[in-house]
């Protein structure tokens, strides 16, 4: 899932300072699952904003709403409030949701209430850990299922940097060395042949070096009707 954390309250208050009528808009997707977004948080945030405004001798109206996903247009029909009726919409979705809403409501001011951080799994109660960095060229087949991009501080693809210390990463002593974990996993599976192979340089155009990335499923694109 995509993990996002709410922006600091001071930053949010500064952002909405020019506006009097605000809609806090939640997304029912990933950020609800990781408990930083969702309808309850939107309601709470709306209340906090009103409280903060009254403490600053200001009056604002802050409503809240929630749709299943802000990154998909089909769910916009479920909005019970119209973003165009507000001075500003504070979206507590991930960046994809905020960006897509801004595009679809070009006359509305859509502000980000969250900082989008990483792709994660819920590893324990209240803990989400990064498992993938969306590199566009997945290596998990030859790393025993452990991501060398996310689980190695230097995102190395040809084994450890040599700085591993007592199994810990030299960059961050609080984390296990990802490449030691990969080695041990492959050893356990009797697949150290994979570890010994030299991997070619990564093509960073698949990552973030070549503009906006798109997934295009040609079969799903409707063909233009032919004019007769």
On the 0-12 / 13-18 / 19+ scale of CB atoms within 10 A, 190 is exposed
d(CA 171, CA 24): 39
Could you tell me the two tokens for 198? 């030299």
- How far is the CA of 127 from the CAs of 120, 130, 173, in angstroms? 10, 10, 19
Q: How far is the CB of 136 from ligand SF4 (least distance, A)?
A: 7
Residues sharing a CB contact under 8 Å with residue 166, sequence separation 6 or more, in sequence order = none
Q: Return the number of the residue (23 or 150) whose C-beta is nearest ligand SF4.
A: 150
Q: Return the number of the residue (13 or 132) whose C-beta is nearest ligand SF4.
A: 132
Q: Return the number of the residue (64 or 183) whose C-beta is nearest ligand SF4.
A: 183
Residues that bind ligand SF4 (CB under 6 A): 132-135, 138-140, 147, 149-150, 152-154, 156, 160-161, 163-164, 169-171, 177-179
Q: How far is the CB of 112 from ligand SF4 (least distance, A)?
A: 24
Q: How far is the CB of 195 from ligand SF4 (least distance, A)?
A: 12
Q: How far is the CB of 119 from ligand SF4 (least distance, A)?
A: 7
């Amino acid at each position: 899932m995509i993990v996002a954390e709410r922006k600091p309250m001071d930053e949010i208050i500064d952002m909405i300072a020019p506006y009097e009528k605000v809609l806090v808009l939640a997304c029912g997707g990933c950020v609800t699952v990781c408990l930083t977004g969702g309808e309850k948080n939107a309601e709470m945030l709306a209340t906090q904003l009103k409280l903060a405004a009254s403490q600053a001798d200001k009056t604002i109206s802050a409503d809240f709403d929630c749709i299943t996903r802000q990154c998909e247009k089909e769910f916009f029909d479920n909005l019970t409030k119209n973003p165009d009726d507000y001075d500003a919409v504070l979206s507590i979705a991930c960046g994809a949701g905020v960006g897509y809403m801004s595009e679809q409501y070009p006359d509305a001011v859509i502000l980000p209430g969250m900082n989008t951080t990483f792709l994660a799994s819920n590893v324990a109660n209240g803990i989400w850990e990064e498992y993938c960095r969306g590199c566009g060229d997945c290596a998990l087949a030859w790393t025993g299922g452990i991501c060398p991009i996310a689980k190695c501080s230097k995102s190395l693809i040809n084994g450890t940097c040599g700085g591993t210390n007592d199994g810990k990463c030299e960059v961050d002593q609080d984390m296990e060395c990802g490449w030691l974990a990969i080695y041990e996993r492959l050893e356990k599976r009797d697949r150290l042949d994979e570890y010994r192979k030299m991997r070619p340089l990564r093509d960073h155009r698949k990552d973030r070096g070549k503009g906006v990335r798109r997934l295009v499923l040609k079969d799903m694109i409707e063909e233009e009707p032919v004019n007769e």
